[in-house]
Amino acid sequence: MIKGALIFAQSGGPTAVINASACGVIQEALKQDCITDVFAARYGIDGVLNEDFIDMRKVPKKEIELLRITPASAFGSCRHKLPPLESNEYEYKRLLEIFKQYNVRYFIYNGGNDSMDTCNKIAKYMLSNNYECYVVGVPKTIDNDLMCTDHCPGFPSAAKYVATSCHEIALDTAVYRNGRVTIVEIMGRDAGWLTAAASLATAHGQGPDLIYLPEHPFNIDKFAKESKYILESKGHCLVALSEGIKNSDGLYISSLSLNNSVDSFHHLQLGGVANFLAIRLTNAYGIKTRAVELSLSQRCAGHLTSKTDTDEAYLAGVKAVQCAVTGLTNRMVIFNRVSNNPYEIEITTADLDGIANAVKELPEHFINSEGNFVTQAYLDYVTPLIQGENTIPYENGMPRYSKLNPKYKTK
Amino acid sequence: MIKGALIFAQSGGPTAVINASACGVIQEALKQDCITDVFAARYGIDGVLNEDFIDMRKVPKKEIELLRITPASAFGSCRHKLPPLESNEYEYKRLLEIFKQYNVRYFIYNGGNDSMDTCNKIAKYMLSNNYECYVVGVPKTIDNDLMCTDHCPGFPSAAKYVATSCHEIALDTAVYRNGRVTIVEIMGRDAGWLTAAASLATAHGQGPDLIYLPEHPFNIDKFAKESKYILESKGHCLVALSEGIKNSDGLYISSLSLNNSVDSFHHLQLGGVANFLAIRLTNAYGIKTRAVELSLSQRCAGHLTSKTDTDEAYLAGVKAVQCAVTGLTNRMVIFNRVSNNPYEIEITTADLDGIANAVKELPEHFINSEGNFVTQAYLDYVTPLIQGENTIPYENGMPRYSKLNPKYKTK
């Protein structure tokens, strides 16, 4: 294969295992004879455009190995999307210039939907300019909404965190004889994969009584009736719902909340959809409520991850490098599920053209007919993904994550 | 010692280790010859008044042992406070009746401030009625605000959770080159012990830049200035603050938020003080913000606890039984710190008269002069408490906590 440098970059929102993929990419790249330098760009594609690189040969092996269990994007991220080539070629030309300058022949981009779009555009641009460069994407998203793959690295660990936290919150909110309706808000604007994982707590013995997902129209009165019924019969009711639940007109419930508040307070925003619904239930139905937002921890809780996920994320990084050095380009690493019991996946790649900018929603048969819980089929899908725990090294009572010093920069 | 039954009950808000104390009480009580029966009341003192008991001799030993790592109050809790004896003797008489009926000679109550008040009242009532009964309190509170003890079981695990989560959130919120002011709201209405623990993340390498506590008057303009300065120099700013921060008039900042909203929306509540301040910073100063509430997980995250805390909570339960069977009453188990390095405590007891209804605030020398961070003295105090991790058994990818079946009830 052609000799040259490899650039790796991370993009989009962090996950608890995105650095496990980084670890796989870097360790594999350092082994490959055809790869002369291994650079990690800081802040995603922005770092490439700014020549802001960390020279991975300078980083101590221990810190690279610790990336395997370190949450959030260790090299920084960005939300920058390359413009359509037709409208603005400037950044593409700049990328090609930089790739030539550093003799970059391998480019690995780790991210979600938008990042795969960027990856796709770069691959095509290099091809059409006859610059030999192998471009492979590594998926990551806690939303699990990328096409063509059984699941995305990052989702299983977020699912394990959500399930465990919901189980613990279920124990916590059941302690009083006369409890409340507790509403837990979970990430996922357009797909309910992660919120659905709260059902694992229920299957485990104690968890949400009701689950509402963006894929099924949400009706506030129906919700009030369902939660009130459970509160009255059990003494407490736990609800898990996606930040992205929508009414039958397709409007986000959170935007109704926003409209309500903007009427009176310029710019004021309420806490979120769980808070909005908690207030609504109390005011309109006299129900005692509490809103809980799992917030950032669901995507960055490195202390509670799925070993299955960490291992797969690592192998996805390894696979990306292996594909690139065997001459594949414009591909994304994907997982095919070979069997469910015992759980087995095949790690392969798919054409980026069919992935970029599409969203994979939760299929209908994963949601019950009432639209207020998941089905056994979903549980069968998700259960293997949360198996296994990582051994996290602790130092002075805290997780010891990788530390990357700016002195490792190329310039 | 007099032969008789022991009743144990839990009260107040749950913690991650309250059941470790339960485990200590129950396992020690089952060993004592003078203790004929071991009953756990369901829903605190309410369960005693309702004769709602679990017979611990019927519970499988494995489930009792699992209590050691199970979060939240496994036997249920209550917020019921006994009325002053002078105003209403009914409940006291009823308790005495029930104690006589079951021949209860040992009563162990596990809770925070209000629960120690209840414990105190029961001990005195039994004494003044010449009914031989040994009453001992076991402290628990994530707020760490009980008098006479170096610290309270429950606080160290909450501190470890808060510190780890703030460290992870610090990693997560630093990934973009141009970030925001992220405001993390932590429990503690009257004392800042737990919020202060966020400083452990900073000491560990990455954590809050600013910490605001209820003990120091909070000024919104000063806060805006301080956070804006850090945002502009670092690119992102992480703030940890107590739900109970107050202005210089002693008014909760969260109540200002409430007043603001009640003006226009009857009954409407904003998400919390972090959300209120995030909105204020954006509207008044044009700063990009994000509010995060650690919410219930900080007190019930059994999957991330301090082994020091779990062990001490267990031993506090053991000690309570040992004191009761040696004839002590109207006492609470306390911890005296003998040495800091190596960390060593002495577990002993103190008179309940000096504990009930008082609040221990963070001392002045634990807060810096600017009132926006803690001092090294606080870090020296808290660091030993978060040491050590528990081995949590997992079943099918989820923590396997104790399961108490209603069939173990006495009737």
Q: What is the DSSP string of B163-199?
A: HHHHHHHHHHHTSBSS--EEEEEE--SS--HHHHTTH
Confidence of residue A360 (pLDDT cuts 50, 70, 90): very high
End-to-end CA, chain B: 28
Query: Of the candidates B164, B172, B267, which has its C-beta nearest A398's C-beta?
Result: B164
Give the pLDDT score at B100: 98
The span from the CA of A334 to the CA of A146, in Å, is: 10
Is B232 within 8 Å of chain A by CB? no
The answer to whether residues B74 and B103 touch, using CB atoms and an 8 Å cutoff, is no
The answer to whether residues B28 and B41 touch, using CB atoms and an 8 Å cutoff, is no
Average pLDDT, chain A: 93
CA-based nearest residue to B340, from B379, B314, B390, B389 = B379
pLDDT of A261 higher than 50 = no
Number of Cβ within 10 Å of residue B33's Cβ equals: 8
Is A6 within 8 Å of chain B by CB? no
Bridge partners for B41 per DSSP: B53
Tell me, rounded to whole angstroms, the distance of Cα A358 from its chain centroid: 15
Return the residue of A nearest to B273 by Cα.
A271
Is A62 within 8 Å of chain B by CB? no
Interchain pair B43, A176: CB under 8 A: yes
Per the listing, tokens 């630093």 go with B174
The answer to whether residues A309 and A153 touch, using CB atoms and an 8 Å cutoff, is yes
Tell me, rounded to whole angstroms, the distance of Cα A209 from its chain centroid: 25
The answer to whether residues B370 and B224 touch, using CB atoms and an 8 Å cutoff, is no
CA-based nearest residue to A76, from A42, A49, A103, A30 = A42
End-to-end CA, chain A: 28
Interchain pair A165, B301: CB under 8 A: yes
Within 8 A of B261 by CB-CB distance, chain A residues are 265
Give the pLDDT score at A406: 72
Within 8 A of B383 by CB-CB distance, chain A residues are 396-397
The two tokens of residue A210 are 């009701």
Residues 6 or more apart in contact with residue B117 via CB below 8 angstroms: B81, B82, B356, B357
Q: Min CA distance, A321 vs chain B (Å)?
A: 24
Within 8 A of B396 by CB-CB distance, chain A residues are 204, 383, 387
Query: For residue A168, what is the enclosing H or E element?
Result: helix A155-173
Query: Of the candidates A279, A297, A304, which has its C-beta nearest B169's C-beta?
Result: A297
Is A46 within 8 Å of chain B by CB? yes
Interchain pair B283, A297: CB under 8 A: no
Is B78 within 8 Å of chain A by CB? yes
Q: Min CA distance, A73 vs chain B (Å)?
A: 6
Give the pLDDT score at B268: 42
Q: Min CA distance, B228 vs chain A (Å)?
A: 20
Residues 6 or more apart in contact with residue A145 via CB below 8 angstroms: A112, A113, A152, A190, A191, A193, A359, A360, A361
CA distances in angstroms from A89 to A46, A49, A86, A357, listed in the order given: 16, 13, 7, 20
Give the pLDDT score at B271: 56
The two tokens of residue A270 are 């309420």
Query: For residue B7, what is the enclosing H or E element?
Result: strand B4-10
User: In chain B, positions 96-155, which contact chain A (CB-CB < 8 Å)?
Assistant: none
Tell me, rounded to whole angstroms, the distance of Cα A367 from its chain centroid: 21
Is A217 within 8 Å of chain B by CB? no
Return the residue of B nearest to A182 by Cα.
B296
Within 8 A of A175 by CB-CB distance, chain B residues are 10, 14, 43, 72-73, 76-77
CA distances in angstroms from A359 to A189, A190, A215, A335, A369, listed in the order given: 11, 8, 12, 16, 22
Tell me, rounded to whole angstroms, the distance of Cα A404 from its chain centroid: 22
Interchain pair B204, A398: CB under 8 A: yes
Bridge partners for B349 per DSSP: B333
The two tokens of residue A375 are 């089905």
Tens-place pLDDT, residues A122-161: 999 999 999 999 999 999 999 999 989 999 999 999 999 9
- Strand A343-351, strand A331-340: pairing: antiparallel
The span from the CA of B145 to the CA of B195, in Å, is: 13
Interchain pair B268, A283: CB under 8 A: yes
Is B234 within 8 Å of chain A by CB? no
- Write out the E strands in B177-266: 181-186, 210-212, 237-242
Is A388 within 8 Å of chain B by CB? yes
Evaluate the CA torsion angle B242, B248, B250, B251 in order and state its sign. Answer: negative
Cα Rg of chain B (Å, integer):
23
Tell me, rounded to whole angstroms, the distance of Cα B348 from its chain centroid: 20
In the set B52, B117, B143, B209, the catalytic residue is: B143
Evaluate the CA torsion angle B126, B127, B130, B135 in order and state its sign. Answer: positive
Q: Is residue A143 among the annotated active site residues?
A: yes
Interchain pair A389, B394: CB under 8 A: yes
Interchain pair A387, B398: CB under 8 A: no
Bridge partners for A293 per DSSP: A185
Query: Of the candidates B267, B293, B294, which has its C-beta nearest A283's C-beta?
Result: B267
Is A286 within 8 Å of chain B by CB? no
Tens-place pLDDT, residues A10-52: 999 999 999 999 999 999 999 999 999 999 999 999 999 999 9
The span from the CA of B23 to the CA of B312, in Å, is: 12
Return the residue of A nearest to B15 by Cα.
A172
- Amino acid found at A235: G
Give the pLDDT score at A268: 41
Give the pLDDT score at B406: 72
Interchain pair A283, B299: CB under 8 A: no
* Helix-helix angle A155-173:A307-325, to 10 degrees: 170
Q: Please tell me the total number of residues recorded for chain B in this structure.
A: 411
Confidence of residue A262 (pLDDT cuts 50, 70, 90): very low
Q: Min CA distance, A398 vs chain B (Å)?
A: 6
Give the pLDDT score at B267: 36
The span from the CA of A341 to the CA of A384, in Å, is: 8
Is B388 within 8 Å of chain A by CB? yes
The span from the CA of A317 to the CA of A139, in Å, is: 9
Structure-model confidence comparison of residues A288 and B264, the more confident one: A288
Give the pLDDT score at B283: 87
- Amino acid found at B190: D
CA-based nearest residue to A45, from B174, B231, B236, B177 = B177
The answer to whether residues B136 and B350 touch, using CB atoms and an 8 Å cutoff, is no
Give the pLDDT score at B189: 87
Give the pLDDT score at B263: 37
pLDDT less than 70: residues of chain B: 257-271, 411
Interchain pair B302, A168: CB under 8 A: yes
Is B302 within 8 Å of chain A by CB? yes
Give the pLDDT score at A264: 37
Number of Cβ within 10 Å of residue B65's Cβ equals: 14
The two tokens of residue A390 are 């990582």
User: In chain A, positions 320-379, which contact chain B (CB-CB < 8 Å)?
Assistant: none
Give the pLDDT score at A205: 96
Is A406 within 8 Å of chain B by CB? no
For chain B, helix (H) and strand (E) counts, in that order, are 14, 13
Interchain pair B383, A399: CB under 8 A: no
User: In chain A, positions 251-280, which contact chain B (CB-CB < 8 Å)?
Assistant: 264-272, 275, 279
CA-based nearest residue to A295, from B186, B44, B202 = B186
Tens-place pLDDT, residues B172-221: 999 999 899 999 999 998 899 999 999 999 999 999 999 999 999 999 99
Tens-place pLDDT, residues A295-309: 999 999 999 999 999
Is B300 within 8 Å of chain A by CB? yes
The answer to whether residues B29 and B57 touch, using CB atoms and an 8 Å cutoff, is no
Per the listing, tokens 């994320």 go with A313
- Strand A4-10, strand A104-111: pairing: parallel
